[in-house]
A and B are shown apart, each in its own frame.
Chain A
Amino acid sequence: MLRYLAKRLAYYLVLLVAAVFLAYALASAALDPRAYFEEKHPRPSTAAVDRQLTALGINDRTPVVIRFGHWAEGAVLHGDLGRTIHDTSVNADFGRRIWVSLRLLVVGSLLGMLLGVLAGAWSAVRQYRISDRALTISSFVLLSTPVFLLALFLKNGAIAANQASGHQLINFTGYETPGLTGGLGTHLADWGVHLLLPTLSLSLTGLATYSRYQRGTMLDVLGSDYLRTAEAKGLTRRRALLKHGLRTAVIPMSTLFAYNFLGIFTGAVFTETIFGWHGMGEWFINAIRENDTNSVVAVNLFTAVTVLASGFLADTLHAALDPRVRG
């Protein structure tokens, strides 16, 4: 198992390096930081702009390979991701925003997976009953709604609910109430309320995806001989389902998890922007508008690492659950 995982890890590292280089080259080619400085008032001289761009390491007159070399050297040796276009540290932004995003991503993806697996398994056991059909129809509708639209629907719903109740029932802007005083409990409650809508919009799609799959794999397992054997040997149905059924049915989900994470990240870009979270997604959109190359690359690095990490996690999970791949 370790050898297998080491092989996967090596492959992912090669992918990561190639991906980051491509992102760097692409961002350098597509964005135009020179224009950002030249549009300033009073307009700086070309030499001044050049000096500024070189200091930031994003001068388009230096070949992109050399620029990438400098950037990669700083990133690998000192963990320094360069300077933003406002000459502040990318690391500072990165460090602040990563927690905001991870909070949303981790809670959203895990909640979606957990609820989806449970809902799917439950729906399979109750195949063709009203509850199963209702779940199927709602997951179809959810899968047909883009995440950004789902977030907007939830936001509008919250506005309507707030208006109907006459006071701020559901807070949906930002991740905390600024200047809130009170103990730890008040703060935690405040966090929870703010997390509610963004997490819902992220996890509902995941819930729909996982539940469809889990329902399918679970139905497969329900008709299997070994489950009947387990029951025939005296296990209760519940115990047989949990111990033998669910475990087998969850295995294919582990690969799905890796893939789904990509979708969750894209979704998070939308939800962060819509709900005013100052996370990686919002940073990305702003950085592109400001031609801030280094920040764009930093977000890409973050995505590549999280996607590959979730891929590796899925591999590990798969190897742990399925003895056939360990060899």
Chain B
Amino acid sequence: MSVDSPARAGRGRLVLTRLLAAPGVLIGGGTVLLLFLLAFVGPYLTHWSYTDIDYASLRQPPSADHWFGTGGLGQDVYAQTLRGLQKSLIIGLLVALLSTVLAGLVGACAGYFGGWTDRLLIFFVDLMLVFPGFLVITIVSPRLRSAGWLAFVVLLAAFNWMITARVVRSMTISLKEREFVRAAQFMGVRPLRVIWRHVLPNCASYLIVDATIAVGSAVMSETALSYFGFGVKAPDVSLGTLIADGTDTAPTYPWTFYFAAGLLVLFVLAVNLIGDGLRDALDPTADAARRPSRRVRDAARPLPGRRTDSPVPTVDEATA
């Protein structure tokens, strides 16, 4: 996991070479870039805004004026979809950032301090895993109606960090025995500083990959909750609320549904491709010479889109 300084330049180049060699990262990265452009520049290309209503055209198919057609009230589906895409992208990024920071801190503290700190934190993590975050967010959401979408971001992040924290914890436990951490401890460096300077940087590749995948899963949770009216609320729109609006009319007026649905799947897919490629490139156990057997290590890797670990302690942890 650690990289000593002479190898650093070589490692940077190695990571870059591997990234460029993996078509998934390029395709995924390009797609995400295009989607961001579409979401933030696209709205300026049309004179319709997402709140505009064109009474002259209800449920019209895509045309030169309304690029993605219009909805049941005469809303411009193009403007609405881009607005929803913006919201979903921002929520996804913020949730991933927040949850990764939280997971890194909790996991590293549990692993580093051990003993009762560890037991308490792990109990807490298990407790949060017993409830699907979805249920809790749904219960709390009526109370947060006034707090807006930022509160929703915090809630989503609060239920998205536990599994990552468990992995960081077990990584920290093995890092704690390493010479450089020992040396820092013996030199009297304070625990939090050791965690910040020596432990977390060594978990960085895992955290980066995990944050990427978290963006995808956050967008999926966001849209699912918004679909049922427990997330982003009118007049604001997200891809989830748009899909909800278009559900009933999808068979007869497909444009009200499939643009939002398609962009959602496209974005999550692109993010997962990046995550998968990054993992290959950053994995320190990867050996470029062993390229053909690269897939063998798939076993040890978390999946795209789903974060992996058991909700309950695994056997080695339990017996430890």
Contacts and interface: CB of A to CB of B under 8 A. Distances in A.
Please report whether the interface of chain B is mostly helix, strand, loop or mixed according to DSSP: helix
A270 B265 contact: no
A274 to B, nearest CB: 8
Given A146-B224, A209-B306, A216 B136 contact: no
19 contacts: A26-B136, A26-B140, A30-B143, A127-B295, A146-B220, A146-B221, A152-B247, A213-B303, A216-B297, A256-B308, A259-B163, A262-B132, A262-B311, A263-B306, A266-B134, A285-B138, A304-B131, A311-B311, A315-B312
A170 interface: no
Contact of B228 (A127, A285, A296, A327): A285
Contacts of B163: 259
Contact of B129 (A7, A262, A285, A299): A262
B261 A152 contact: yes
A255 B310 contact: yes
A216 B299 CA distance: 4
Contact of A146 (B127, B135, B142, B223): B223
Interface stretch (A15-23, A40-48, A85-93): A15-23
Contacts of A259: 163, 308-311
With most chain B CB atoms within 10 A of its CB, the pick from A152, A159, A252 is A152
A150 B92 CA distance: 20
Closest 8 CB pairs of A and B: A216-B298, A216-B299, A311-B312, A144-B269, A144-B268, A143-B305, A255-B310, A146-B220
Given A148-B224, A288-B139, A141 B269 contact: yes
A8 B313 CA distance: 9
Contact of B265 (A145, A213, A273, A296): A145
Nearest to A8: B318
Nearest to B124: A18
Interface in B279-313: 293, 295-301, 303-306, 308-313
B25 interface: no
B188 interface: no
Interface in A294-327: 296, 299-300, 303-304, 307-308, 311, 314-315, 318-319, 322, 325, 327
Interface in A90-130: 127
B273 interface: yes
A304 to B, nearest CB: 5
Given A269-B134, A314-B310, A216 B300 contact: yes
Interface residues of B, number: 57
B130 interface: yes
Nearest to A209: B306
Given A163-B251, A308-B312, 13 more contacts: A7-B318, A12-B312, A15-B127, A140-B273, A146-B221, A156-B251, A219-B295, A255-B309, A259-B163, A270-B224, A284-B135, A307-B311, A314-B310
Nearest to B319: A325
A188 interface: no
Band of interface residues on A? 35 or more
A285 B126 CA distance: 24
A263 to B, nearest CB: 7
Interface of A: 4, 7-8, 11-12, 15-16, 18-19, 22-23, 26-27, 30-32, 127, 140-141, 143-149, 152-153, 156, 159-160, 163, 209, 212-213, 215-217, 219-220, 223, 252, 255-256, 258-260, 262-263, 265-266, 269-270, 273, 284-285, 288, 296, 299-300, 303-304, 307-308, 311, 314-315, 318-319, 322, 325, 327
B293 A140 contact: no
Given A19-B127, A145-B268, A299 B310 contact: no
Contacts of B108: none
A19 B265 contact: no
B230 to A, nearest CB: 8
Contacts of B130: 15-16, 19, 303-304, 307-308
A146 B303 contact: no
A13 to B, nearest CB: 12
A156 B250 contact: yes
B228 A273 contact: yes
Contacts of A258: 310-312
A140 B269 contact: yes
B216 A144 contact: yes
